[in-house]
Amino acid sequence: MSDQRLGEFEEIILLLVGILADEAYAFHIGETYTRQTGKSSSIGAIHSTLSRLEQKGFLKSLHSDPTPVRGGRRKRIYRITALGQRALTASRQLRQSLWNQFPGFSDLSFHHE
């Protein structure tokens, strides 16, 4: 099937979806992204990433109840799938193991103190 790798932006979006839980719809994800990273984002970019992640099977989506603020339209709420969880975990484990092998890691933490 399609590519199972996870890009950096994709990983962050995936994490944000997990963080925002029931409020994980594109607009809100974009806002949170900007707030957390300080970088700007466009709805287009967020949407295409979300739909790519959905195609890869990392996300699934469902409709929320209609809200008046959006002209009565339903939100498309994203949820992380088991596959998404696994991909996140794999990514995190990879980083963890790389940090653990990093010789300067313990020194680095001492210097900070």
Partner 1 sequence: MNLPKLPLRFLEWFCPDDLLEGILGDLEEKFAEDVSNRSMRKARWHFRWNVIRLFHPSILFRNPMRLSPGPAEMVVRHIQTTSRQMWRNPFYSIVTLAGLSVTTAFVFLTLLFIRKEQSFDQFHQNKNQIFRVYQEIKNAETGTVIRKSAVTPVPLAEGLANSFSGIQNYTRLASSTATVYQEAEPFTETVHFADAAFLDMFDFPLLQGNLANALTDPLDLVLSPDIAVKYFGQGNPLGQELRLTLNDTTITTIVRAVLDPRKAESSIPFDFILPIDQYQQIVSKDLFDSYAYGLLENYIQLATGIEPKDFGKRLRTTRILEQDENSNQQVFYGLQPLSQIHLADEVTGNALYTSPQKLYFLMILAILVITIAGMNFIILSTSQALGRFREIGVRKTLGAQGFQLWWQLMVESSFICILAASLGVFLAWWLTPLFGQLTGSPLTFQPGWGAFGILLLVMLLVALTTSLLEARIILRTRVQDALSGKNKNGKTRNTLNDGFVVLQFALSIALVLGALTIRRQMQYILHKDLGFDKERLLEIALPATSSTDNNLHLVKRFAALVQKNKQVLAVSASMNNSSEPWTELIFAQSDGEKEKIFYNQIDANYLSTMGIELVDGRNFTPDGNNASSAILVNETLVRHFHWDNPINKEIPGKNFTGSHRIIGVVKDFHFSSLHQQIAPLILSLDLEPVASGISGVSTHVWPANLYQILVRIGPGDLEPILNNLESTWRSMVPDQAFSYQFVDDALKNKYAEEARWEKAMDWASLFAVGIAWLGLLSLMRLSVRKKTREIGIRKVLGSSIPAVVTLLTRKFFWLVLIGSLVAWPVAWLLLGKWLNTFSYRIELSPWSFVLVGLAVLIFTTGTIGFQSWQASRANPVDSLKQE
Residue 105 as a binder of partner 1 (CB under 8 A): the answer is no
Residue 95's Cβ-count burial label (10 Å; 0-12, 13-18, 19+) is exposed
Ordered alpha helix ranges (H), the chain: 8-20, 26-37, 43-56, 82-101, 104-112
Residue 20 as a binder of partner 1 (CB under 8 A): the answer is no
For partner 1, the closer CB: 53 or 80: 53
Cα angle, residue 12 at apex, residues 64 and 102 outer, rounded to 5° = 155
Residue 69 as a binder of partner 1 (CB under 8 A): the answer is yes
Minimum CB separation of residue 85 from partner 1 in Å reads 21
Tally the residues of the chain.
113
Residue 63 as a binder of partner 1 (CB under 8 A): the answer is yes
Among 11-19, 32-40, 50-58, 87-95, the segment contacting partner 1 (CB under 8 A): 50-58
The pair of three-digit structure tokens given for residue 112, joined into one six-digit string? 């900070």
Binding site for partner 1 (CB under 8 A): 25-27, 30, 42-45, 47-49, 51-52, 55, 61, 63, 67, 69-71, 73-76
